[in-house]
Amino acid sequence: MNKGQLIEKLAEKTKLTKSQSEVFLDATLEIIQKVVSRGDEVKLVGFGTFSRLARKSRAGRNPKTGAPVQIPGTKVPRFRPGKEFKSMLN
């Protein structure tokens, strides 16, 4: 499912127009992104938790030459599914 299809399903479910649904979805995603980028978590009970994970720097190898390379640490978004969401997949 892509964003357009999600907007269509959201419009059907909420009885909103597609443009209203798109604004709603965009605002929701923007809020989640801003909160997580600050380092806070967004917990949606039953669905899951969005958070930020700090990866440490580590040593790696250049696959072409085999030379050692230092891979810098970085921050990445993380999603942990909730119990209800996990149980739907089984």
- DSSP-derived letter for residue 22 is H
The verdict on 81 and 50 lying in the same domain is: yes
Count the domains in the chain: 2
Residue at 22 is within a domain: yes
Roughly how many angstroms between the first and final C-alpha of the chain, as a whole number? 20
pLDDT tens for the chain, residues 1 to 90: 999 999 999 999 999 999 999 999 999 999 999 999 999 999 999 999 999 999 999 999 999 999 999 999 999 999 999 999 999 998
Query: CB atoms < 10 A from the CB of 33, how many?
Result: 13
The verdict on 80 and 49 lying in the same domain is: yes
Residue ranges making up the domain that contains 85: 41-57+71-90
